[in-house]
Structure 1
Amino acid sequence: MNFPPNSRLAILREQNIPLHLGLFAATLLTTTAAGVFWAGGTLAFNGTLALINSLQSGISYALSLILFLSVHEFGHFFAALHHRIRTTLPYFIPLPPLPMLLGIGTMGAVIRIRERIKDTDALFDIGTAGPLSGFAICLGLLIYGFLNLPPADFIFTIHPEYIAAGGPPATPPEGTLQLGKNLLWLLLENTLPTRNLPPMTEMYHYPLLFTGWLGCFVTALNLLPVGQLDGGHITYAMFGTKGHRRAGHITLTLITLLALPSLLELAASLTTLVPVGALPATFLKLSWPGWILWVFILMKFIGTSHPPTMNDHPINTGRTIIGWMSILVFLLTFTPVPFSIT
């Protein structure tokens, strides 16, 4: 049966369903394996049944992370489908949990828009649908995770060496991974009646908290008002070319400044040009060198400009309100120092 070009049924008919399902299944497997690692377990390769049993501890992590990624990308997809813009279903990107990387089991998921965006309304709707729907999942995961924490002795199943001290050490040993807090985390931490909340050096052993945190981190990265990121789409639709360019320049400057103290400290450790310890510890605590890598990716690969739609026009009041809600979500989920090593 032939459907009119760009009809919703025609867009659905052109999807490569086997490819999308295959990538989804592979990502489910790699994220489950990553979940086993974060839960403190190991994969057993001495038989099929043993392997299946060893994967069980990673299922909560995998399903919650896949849920976030799916809702985020299908938000984009359904918004594009609503505007009859040819786009693909989400491509999930599996990544085996490698020890030398932050092995979360995936590089995320993406959709591919196959034609130029028709107008500003479509651009705005596609840009906001992903991060706002994904944020709803993050919020739900975090609230449920905060309110349903396991008993305090759960951490002993992963770190039996903590039993003698009665819990995680007040000063973690060198080389310990520590995750940073965003405004949303601080808000939930100080308003919800939580018990046994783990320190940020142990939080990644709690799958719902960890995936909620990861979802917030990914949401904030996507909402950076630069180039053709989701945040770039939103600022272009709300403020036009000049506003988009100004927001991008300010953002790149700020995250470069966030990286600078750590980079100077690194230079001090490698050369004698800057004395080691010359920078105040407070500056270093508010700095993450990874931001400079993100600046490089934005400038060299993603780009900092935004192409016009086929029909640029001001958005209405309702969309403007949603745009400001998206900016609020960015402020709540942005983590100045997402990762640090003690």
Structure 2
Amino acid sequence: MKNSVFPKPDSPWPKLRSYPLHLFLFLVTLFTTTWAGAEWAGKTMVITTGSELMLFLKAGLPYSLSLLGFLTVHEFGHFFTAMRHRLRATLPYYIPIPPFPNFLNIGTMGAVIRIKEPISSTRILFDTGSAGPLAGFTVALGLLVYGFLMLPPAPYITPVATLPSPHGTLVFGKNLLFVLLESFFSSKAVPPMTELYRYPFLFTGWLACFVTALNLLPVGQLDGGHVIYAMFGDAGHRKIANGFLIAIIILGLPSFAVELAGIFLPSLTLPIPESVLRHSWPGWIVWAFILKQFIGTRHPAVSVRQRLSMGRTIAGWLCIALFVLTFTPMPFDIL
């Protein structure tokens, strides 16, 4: 969510003239995510007839509809909460990404709504910030559970040719929720994380968890930042945000140092244990830079400071628990 200042209107609902743009972006994103889903399913974009195009797109629909379903529920969680508090807000802007060769393509950069006026109180801030992750997580959990339930029998889950890549084999990391569900469905044969993309509901459930965790990072004006600011105030938010920034730098530094050494000093072997590298992702250094330089770790003050109700406090701790469940220390790796 992004805030910008506009006079408060009599009706907070978006103007009808803006609807075509949002619909257009949704349809384009539906196409790009369907294309991405078909490629994850092993299809190639070599189309000579209309029937081949339909088969190609049909292969990608389970992925695209699942992922867009999650994004839509998440963003409309924010939107309808903003409407309830009579905040002027836009409908979701979906962000499509066309497929690029040799690129981790999921077909979209997500979706975002803009709240076009200052949020006046901590209760409203908390409600609008927490509504998206809480709503979206229900879809993420549903996708994972359904994905586990729909896994084929063990003889059909066998390692096959891995996703082609000139750089190696892509591996998806496990978050705590995935580990718990994997244990709960222990009677099922679970595919290796190198082949998660072959099971669109499990894959999109994993992606939905990853996006939920990114939104719940307790920094700046991210959803998690709104929740932490409303719960613990400016001083508490500042300490938690800075502490988290230090934590992900520590988490990413070992593998980042190895990557840099491999580029600039290929003959140098750093004495970092393999057990440490297995839990370190260099991307966290990039995220720390983005959070510090572009998103910002500080949260702007609200004009009315209110004590949160018991229900909101419980919901806040639930958001923190969801962050712990969905956070993946090492989301991606290349073998």
- The answer on 1:11 being equivalent to 2:13 is yes
Q: Which moved more, 1:22-31 or 1:273-282?
A: 273-282
Deviation digits for residues 240-259 of structure 1 (CA, Å, limit 9, x no counterpart): 00000000001100001111
Q: Which moved more, 1:258-267 or 1:324-333?
A: 258-267
- From 72, 80, 83, the counterpart of 1:81: 83
* In structure 1, C-alpha distance between the alignment counterparts of 2:210 and 2:177, rounded to whole Å: 11
Q: Which residue of 2 aligns with 1:165?
A: none
SS of 2:110 mapped into structure 1: strand
SS of 2:13 mapped into structure 1: helix
C-alpha displacement of 1:22: 0.3
C-alpha displacement of 1:49: 2.9
Q: Which residue of 1 aligns with 2:235?
A: 242
Q: Which residue of 1 aligns with 2:52?
A: 50
Q: Which moved more, 1:117-126 or 1:173-182?
A: 173-182
- From 129, 132, 139, the counterpart of 2:131: 129
C-alpha displacement of 1:76: 0.5
Q: Which residue of 2 aligns with 1:253?
A: 246
1:248-327 alignment, distance < 5 Å: 248-272=241-265, 275-327=268-320
- Counterpart amino acid of residue 330 in structure 1: F
- From 146, 150, 158, the counterpart of 1:148: 150
SS of 1:43 mapped into structure 2: coil
Residues 274, 235 of structure 1: alpha-carbon distance in 2 compared, 3 angstrom cutoff: farther
Deviation digits for residues 77-106 of structure 1 (CA, Å, limit 9, x no counterpart): 011111000010000001012123210000
SS of 1:88 mapped into structure 2: coil
C-alpha displacement of 1:152: 4.2
Q: Which residue of 1 aligns with 2:176?
A: 183
* In structure 1, C-alpha distance between the alignment counterparts of 2:154 and 2:272, rounded to whole Å: 38
Unpaired runs of 5+ in structure 2?
Answer: 1-6
Contact 2:175/2:325, CA 8 A, preserved across alignment:
yes
C-alpha displacement of 1:147: 1.0
- Counterpart amino acid of residue 317 in structure 1: M
Residues 272, 24 of structure 1: alpha-carbon distance in 2 compared, 3 angstrom cutoff: closer
Deviation digits for residues 287-310 of structure 1 (CA, Å, limit 9, x no counterpart): 000111111111111111111123
Contact 1:15/1:89, CA 8 A, preserved across alignment:
no
Deviation digits for residues 144-169 of structure 1 (CA, Å, limit 9, x no counterpart): 1101113445567x94x59xxxxx9x
Q: Which residue of 1 aligns with 2:190?
A: 197
Residues 277, 221 of structure 1: alpha-carbon distance in 2 compared, 3 angstrom cutoff: same
Q: Which TM-score applies when normalising by structure 1?
A: 0.90
SS of 1:202 mapped into structure 2: helix
C-alpha displacement of 1:209: 0.3
Contact 1:36/1:54, CA 8 A, preserved across alignment:
yes
Residues 82, 241 of structure 1: alpha-carbon distance in 2 compared, 3 angstrom cutoff: same
- The answer on 1:30 being equivalent to 2:32 is yes
Q: Which residue of 2 aligns with 1:102?
A: 104
Contact 1:146/1:209, CA 8 A, preserved across alignment:
yes
C-alpha displacement of 1:136: 0.6
Contact 2:78/2:131, CA 8 A, preserved across alignment:
yes
Q: Which TM-score applies when normalising by structure 2?
A: 0.92
Contact 1:116/1:310, CA 8 A, preserved across alignment:
no
Q: Which moved more, 1:96-105 or 1:327-336?
A: 96-105
Contact 2:8/2:87, CA 8 A, preserved across alignment:
no
Contact 1:36/1:55, CA 8 A, preserved across alignment:
yes
Q: Which residue of 1 aligns with 2:211?
A: 218
- From 93, 106, 119, the counterpart of 1:117: 119
- The answer on 1:331 being equivalent to 2:328 is no
Give the length in aligned residue pairs.
327
| Identity percentage of aligned residues | 54
Residues 272, 94 of structure 1: alpha-carbon distance in 2 compared, 3 angstrom cutoff: closer
RMSD, aligned CA: 2.2
